[in-house]
Amino acid sequence: MALEDTLTGPVFDRFRDLVYRKAGIALGSTKKSLLVSRLAKRAKDCGCQSFQDYYDAVTQATDGEEFLNMLDCITTNKTDFFREPVHFSFLRDVILTSVGTERRLKVWSAACSSGEEPYSIAMTITDTIQQAERWDWRILASDISTRVLAQAKSGRYEMDRVERLPSDALRRHFLKGTGSAKGTVKVKPTLADHIAFRRINLMDEVYPIKTQLDVIFCRNVMIYFDRTTQESVLRKFFRYLKVGGYLFVGHSESLQWVPNPFTYVAPTIYRKG
Ligand SMILES: C[S@@+](CC[C@H](N)C(=O)[O-])C[C@H]1O[C@@H](n2cnc3c(N)ncnc32)[C@H](O)[C@@H]1O
């Protein structure tokens, strides 16, 4: 029997429970064919003969690494520089003009994928604040996936990823690769030095964050969660935000139907208090 034909109802339920319990991702019963198409190759690469074999490989790996590989196959890491630009305009025009005399700013890019989001935040900050080097501004960039985090941390991108950035932004914030890195660019330390990359699973009860945040970007990940999980994540975000702090969510993630303690500001933009 081909591996593709071995995802029986009970085996699918096992994967579904595991993914929900560990990553909060809710796979509806219609997602069976998606799981087959996304996981079959990975399962074969791991030498498995069936989906049950692959389930065993995922759950028995003591370092949890295969679970993360599996998750990378299921979720999309799609992102872009200045994706959903309205959030960056709001950051520039509303938030950065009102942070005031404290000269401190702490932003969390939760589910940052390969880093385009935190680097876009960093570009917005340095391009807006006068004498940004005198400010204490920091960005925490996190994701559940160690693979995308490694890419984010490297700060290196293929030229086609940045081709839509204005040429002066490209010049100011990126270094052109030479030799074997030709055709790529690397984020300059003036941005990168302000960003800490960490693996954080949004399902964790407690996040490793000590100082309260001014802004949280959590975009295009809650769409994978069911309402109960969204509600619990939103309650945690509320705890970690300063009063007056802002939350940005993805364009298709309106909180309208999810009980939450935030004040609505504009579509996909919310505030604490
Ligand atoms: C589509 S990307 C969003 C990237 C970026 N925020 C944006 O909007 O362009 C979704 C990311 O969520 C991450 N993710 C999925 N489940 C997660 C969880 N439970 N905790 C943290 N990150 C998670 C995935 O690894 C993926 O990189």
Q: What are phi and psi of 72, to 5 degrees?
A: -60, -35
Q: Out of 143, 236, 252, give the residue to mutate to test ligand 1, the one with the largest number of ligand atoms within 8 Å of its CB.
A: 143
| Nearest alpha carbon to residue 265 among 127, 112, 93 | 93
Q: How confident is the model at residue 220 (pLDDT cuts 50, 70, 90)?
A: very high
Among 29-33, 161-165, 268-272, whose mean pLDDT is lowest?
29-33
User: Which structure tokens are listed for 161?
Assistant: 């990823």
What CATH class has 86-271? Answer: alpha beta
Q: What are phi and psi of 26, to 5 degrees?
A: -95, 110
| CA of residue 151 to ligand 1 center, whole Å | 14
pLDDT, residue 32, reads 93
Q: How far apart are CA 179 and CA 164, in angstroms?
A: 24
Ligand 1 atom at shortest distance from the alpha carbon of 83: 9
Interhelix angle 51-60/32-45, rounded to 10 degrees, is: 70
Q: How confident is the model at residue 138 (pLDDT cuts 50, 70, 90)?
A: very high
Query: What residue's CA is closest to ligand 1, atom 17?
Result: 144
pLDDT, residue 239, reads 97
Q: Where are the domains of the chain?
A: 3-74, 86-271
Do the beta carbons of residue 33 and residue 5 sit within 8 Å?
A: no
CATH of domain 3-74: 1.10.155.10
Q: Which residues line ligand 1 (CB under 6 A)?
A: 23-25, 75-79, 83, 111-113, 117, 143-145, 148, 201-203, 219-221, 250
Strands in the chain per DSSP E:
104-110, 136-143, 156-158, 174-176, 184-187, 195-199, 213-218, 241-249, 263-266, 269-271
| CA of residue 239 to ligand 1 center, whole Å | 20
pLDDT in tens, 39-68: 999 999 999 999 999 999 999 987 888 999
pLDDT in tens, 155-182: 999 999 999 999 999 999 999 999 999 9
pLDDT in tens, 77-116: 999 999 999 999 999 999 999 887 788 999 999 999 999 9
pLDDT, residue 133, reads 86
